[in-house]
C-alpha cells in the first residue's frame, strides 16, 4: 500500500481509503492505543521501548527508563541521535505535582569567532566537518535528570545499550534507509567509516564495541569522564588533528540548565513547551492565533482549516526567525510572544481567502534535521517527555577516535549576520529545533508527547493538540492523521520568506481541498518522509490508565505493563 501511495504522489494523485473496517471509523488509524497501568514507554525503535520497560520492571523511575531508552536509541538509531548530540526534557514529578524543564544543549567553542568566518568568506556555517560542532550536551543531561529523579544506578540503566552494542542488533527498515543515505554523504569524514560503515541493510546485525566501551566508562566514571576525563581528552586531541575548534576547556565548562516550562491555555488545556533557545514557543504562538477561530466547525482536512493553520504558522515563524536564540545573550520577550493579546494582534493579519507571500515579524514589548523523541511513564505517575538529536541525521560526519559516536552539527543553525539575536558568538547556544511537549488539565497531567523533525516539530505539536481537542481523535489517531507541513518561512539563520513558502500535504487530504488551497494562492508540492515522528503517552488521572501511541511513519513501538 505504501508503494502505491508513493507512486500516486509522484503522479500528482492522492489515494484515500474508501472506508474503514476499524471500529473507530478513522481510515487513517493504523493501530489501536496501547493501554497499561504500571508503566508505559513509547520510542521510535522497539528495542529501546523494551529497554525502558525492563528498567521500569526493575524498579527504575520514568527518568531511569527514559535514559536507558535514549542510550539504546543512540546505538540502534544513530541516524537521529547519540551522545554526540544535545537533549531537552520536560518531567512531570508526581511527588511535587509540577513540571520541570531541562535544557541540555551545548555551546559553541571559545576559540571560534565570528571574525574567523568573515575572514574566510563564509556566508553561512557549513553543515558538515569541524565548523558546526558544538559541545555535546546529552550525557550531562542524563546525569542532571538522574541526580534529581533517578532511582537505579547508571550501570543498570546503561546496561541494555552496552549489551546491544557489544552483541549486536538487527537494523530496522527506516533506520537502514537513512543510514545508507548518510553514509554516502559522510563516508570520507575522519572516523566515520571506522564507526558506521558498511551501512547495514534491513535485518543485518550491527555491532559497535567502541560505543560499548565508551558507555561503560560513562557508567563507571560519571559525567566527568565525558567532560573532563579520558573521553574529553580524546575528543580534544581528535579535533586538533582535524582542524576543529572544540577543546577540553569547552567540554569542561559545559553545564545544563534547569528551566521553567512555559504554557498557553488552549480551550481549557494547558500546553507546555520549553523557552528559547529552542523553538517550542512557536507551537504556543500558533495555538493562540488559531484559538480565535472555530476550528471544529471548519472540519479536519478542510481547505478553510488548513489555510488558517498555514497562515498562523507563517506569522509565528517570523517571530521565531527574529527572536528565538540563546537567552544568555539577548532579552527575549517570551511572555509577550505567547500572550493572548499579542496573538489577537497577529490574528488580524490573516486574510481568510488568500495566502500571504510574506509577513513581517511582530513587535512585542520588551531545517532537514533528524531527531528522536521518546516518552516514559511509571507506576507512581511520573512522566518524562524527552527529545535528543545530532541535528542533521548522523551529525557533522566527524567521529572521534575509538569512541563509537559522531559529533553533532547544531552550530550550523547560527547566523553570520551581525546584529541578529542568533548571530554566532563563542560559548553561545545556537537556535535549537528539538522540543519536548506536555499537556496538563486542571493542574493534572494529561499527555506527554513530541514529534521529531526539524521545523516540522512546532507545526506537528499544534496539529496533535488540535486533532485531539478540536477534532476528538484519540492519542493514536491524532498521530496517524495526515499532516500539514509548511516550509520556506524566514529562518533564524537569516533567510527571509518573500514567496509564501511551500505546502506539503500528506496522503489522505482530499483532492478538492488541495484545489481550493491552490486557488487561495498556496503552492502545493509533494514530499515523502518529512512529516515527523510522533510518540505520546496520555493518562487518565482518575483510573491511572496510561494510553500509549507510537509513530506509524517510523520504526516505532509503544508498550506497557
Q: Is residue 27 over pLDDT 80?
A: no
Out of 371, 433, 456, 493, which one is annotated catalytic?
Answer: 371
Q: What is the pLDDT of residues 2-24, one digit of tens each?
A: 333 333 333 333 333 344 556 66
Question: What is the sign, positive or negative, of the torsion defined by CA atoms of 508, 512, 515, 519?
Answer: negative
Q: Is residue 318 over pLDDT 70?
A: yes
User: H or E element: which one contains 87?
Assistant: strand 86-93
Contact 497, 490 (CB under 8 A): yes
Burial class (CB in 10 A: 0-12, 13-18, 19+), 417: middle
409: helix, strand or coil: coil
Query: Which pLDDT belongs to residue 90?
Result: 98
Nearest Cα neighbor of 449 from 376, 365, 357 is 376
Q: What is the pLDDT of residues 487-532, one digit of tens each?
A: 888 888 888 898 889 999 988 899 999 999 999 999 998 877 678 7
| Long-range CB contacts for residues 191-194, cutoff 8 Å, separation at least 24 | 191/238, 191/398, 191/399, 191/400, 191/401, 191/406, 192/394, 192/397, 192/398, 192/399, 192/406, 194/399
Q: Residue with C-alpha cell 571559545?
A: 110
Q: What is the pLDDT of residues 156-190, one digit of tens each?
A: 999 999 999 999 999 999 999 999 999 999 999 99
Residue 51 grid cell: 529497554
Q: What is the pLDDT of residues 369-412, one digit of tens each?
A: 467 899 999 999 999 999 999 998 899 999 999 999 999 999 99
Contact 538, 447 (CB under 8 A): yes
Query: Which pLDDT belongs to residue 424?
Result: 96
Q: Is residue 332 over pLDDT 80?
A: yes
Query: Which pLDDT belongs to residue 302?
Result: 96
- Please confirm, yes or no, whether 371 is among the known catalytic residues: yes
Contact 363, 382 (CB under 8 A): no
What angle is formed at CA 83 by the lines to CA 50 and CA 557, rounded to 5 degrees? 25
Residue 126 grid cell: 557549513
Pairing of strands 524-525, 370-377: unpaired
Q: Strand pairing partners for 487?
A: 502
| DSSP H helix total and E strand total for the chain | 20, 19
Give all domains of the chain, ordered by start, each with its CATH number.
2-34+259-366+433-548 (1.10.246.130), 36-85+129-258+370-377+393-413 (no CATH)
Query: Which pLDDT belongs to residue 498?
Result: 85
Percent of the chain with pLDDT over 70: 94
Nearest Cα neighbor of 411 from 38, 106, 61, 149 is 106
What angle is formed at CA 383 by the lines to CA 380 and CA 388, rounded to 5 degrees? 145
Residue 203 grid cell: 535485518
**Global pTM value:** 0.93
Q: Strand pairing partners for 90?
A: 101, 385
Query: Which pLDDT belongs to residue 1?
Result: 33
Percent of the chain with pLDDT over 90: 82
Query: Which pLDDT belongs to residue 421?
Result: 93
Query: Which pLDDT belongs to residue 488?
Result: 87
The lowest-confidence range among 14-23, 308-317, 546-555 is 14-23
- Report the alpha-carbon distance of residue 495 to residue 490 in Å, rounded: 5
Amino acid at each position: 500500500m505504501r508503494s502505491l501511495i508513493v507512486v500516486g504522489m509522484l503522479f500528482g494523485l492522492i489515494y484515500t481509503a474508501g472506508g474503514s473496517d476499524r471500529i473507530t471509523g478513522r481510515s487513517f488509524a493504523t493501530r489501536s492505543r496501547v493501554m497499561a497501568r504500571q508503566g508505559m514507554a513509547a520510542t521510535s525503535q522497539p528495542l529501546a521501548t523494551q529497554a525502558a520497560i525492563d528498567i521500569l520492571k526493575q524498579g527504575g523511575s520514568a527518568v531511569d527508563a527514559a535514559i536507558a531508552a535514549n542510550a539504546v536509541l543512540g546505538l540502534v538509531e544513530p541516524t537521529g541521535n547519540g551522545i554526540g548530540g544535545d537533549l531537552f526534557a520536560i518531567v512531570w514529578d508526581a511527588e511535587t505535582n509540577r513540571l520541570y524543564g531541562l535544557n541540555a544543549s551545548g555551546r559553541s567553542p571559545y576559540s571560534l569567532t565570528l571574525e574567523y568566518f568573515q575572514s574566510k568568506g563564509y556566508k553561512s556555517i557549513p553543515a558538515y566537518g569541524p565548523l558546526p560542532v558544538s559541545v555535546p550536551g546529552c550525557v550531562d543531561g542524563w546525569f542532571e535528570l538522574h541526580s534529581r529523579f533517578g532511582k537505579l544506578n547508571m550501570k543498570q540503566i546503561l546496561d541494555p545499550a552496552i549489551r546491544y552494542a557489544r552483541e549486536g542488533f538487527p537494523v530496522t527498515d527506516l533506520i537502514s534507509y537513512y543510514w545508507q543515505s548518510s553514509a554516502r554523504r559522510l563516508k570520507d569524514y575522519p572516523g566515520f567509516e571506522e564507526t558506521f560503515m558498511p551501512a547495514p541493510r534491513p535485518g543485518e546485525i550491527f555491532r559497535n564495541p567502541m560505543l560499548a566501551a565508551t558507555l561503560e566508562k560513562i557508567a563507571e566514571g560519571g559525567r566527568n569522564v565525558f567532560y573532563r576525563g579520558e573521553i574529553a581528552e580524546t575528543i580534544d586531541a581528535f579535533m586538533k588533528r582535524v582542524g576543529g575548534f572544540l577543546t577540553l576547556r569547552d567540554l569542561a565548562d559545559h553545564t545544563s540548565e534547569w528551566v521553567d516550562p512555559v504554557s498557553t491555555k488552549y480551550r481549557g488545556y494547558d500546553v507546555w513547551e520549553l523557552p528559547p533557545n529552542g523553538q517550542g514557543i512557536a507551537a504556543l504562538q500558533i495555538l493562540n492565533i488559531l484559538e480565535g477561530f472555530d476550528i471544529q466547525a471548519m472540519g479536519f482536512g478542510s481547505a478553510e482549516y488548513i489555510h488558517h493553520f498555514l497562515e498562523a504558522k507563517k506569522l509565528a515563524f517570523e517571530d521565531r526567525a527574529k527572536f528565538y536564540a540563546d537567552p544568555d545573550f539577548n532579552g527575549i520577550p517570551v511572555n509577550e510572544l505567547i500572550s493572548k493579546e499579542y496573538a489577537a494582534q497577529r490574528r488580524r493579519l490573516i486574510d481568510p481567502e488568500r495566502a500571504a507571500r510574506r509577513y513581517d515579524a511582530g513587535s512585542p514589548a520588551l531545517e532537514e534535521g533528524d531527531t528522536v523523541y521518546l516518552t516514559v511513564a511509571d507506576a507512581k505517575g511520573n512522566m518524562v517527555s524527552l527529545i535528543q538529536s545530532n541535528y542533521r541525521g548522523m551529525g557533522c560526519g566527524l567521529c572521534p577516535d575509538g569512541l563509537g559516536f559522531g559529533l553533532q552539527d547544531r552550530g550550523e543553525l547560527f547566523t553570520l549576520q551581525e546584529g541578529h539575536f542568533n548571530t554566532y558568538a563563542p560559548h553561545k547556544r545556537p537556535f535549537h529545533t528539538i522540543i519536548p511537549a506536555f499537556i496538563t488539565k486542571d493542574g493534572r497531567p494529561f499527555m506527554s508527547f513530541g514529534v521529531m523533525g526539524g521545523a516540522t516539530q512546532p507545526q506537528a505539536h499544534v496539529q496533535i493538540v488540535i486533532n485531539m481537542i478540536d477534532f476528538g481523535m484519540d492519542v493514536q489517531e491524532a498521530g496517524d492523521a495526515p499532516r500539514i507541513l509548511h516550509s520556506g518561512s524566514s529562518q533564524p539563520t537569516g533567510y527571509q520568506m518573500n514567496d509564501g513558502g511551500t505546502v506539503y500535504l500528506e496522503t489522505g487530504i482530499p483532492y478538492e481541498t488541495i484545489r481550493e488551497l491552490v486557488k487561495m494562492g498556496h503552492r502545493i508540492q509533494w514530499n515523502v518522509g518529512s512529516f515527523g515522528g510522533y510518540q505520546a503517552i496520555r493518562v487518565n488521572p482518575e483510573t491511572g490508565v496510561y494510553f500509549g501511541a507510537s509513530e506509524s511513519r517510523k520504526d516505532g513501538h509503544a508498550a506497557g505493563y
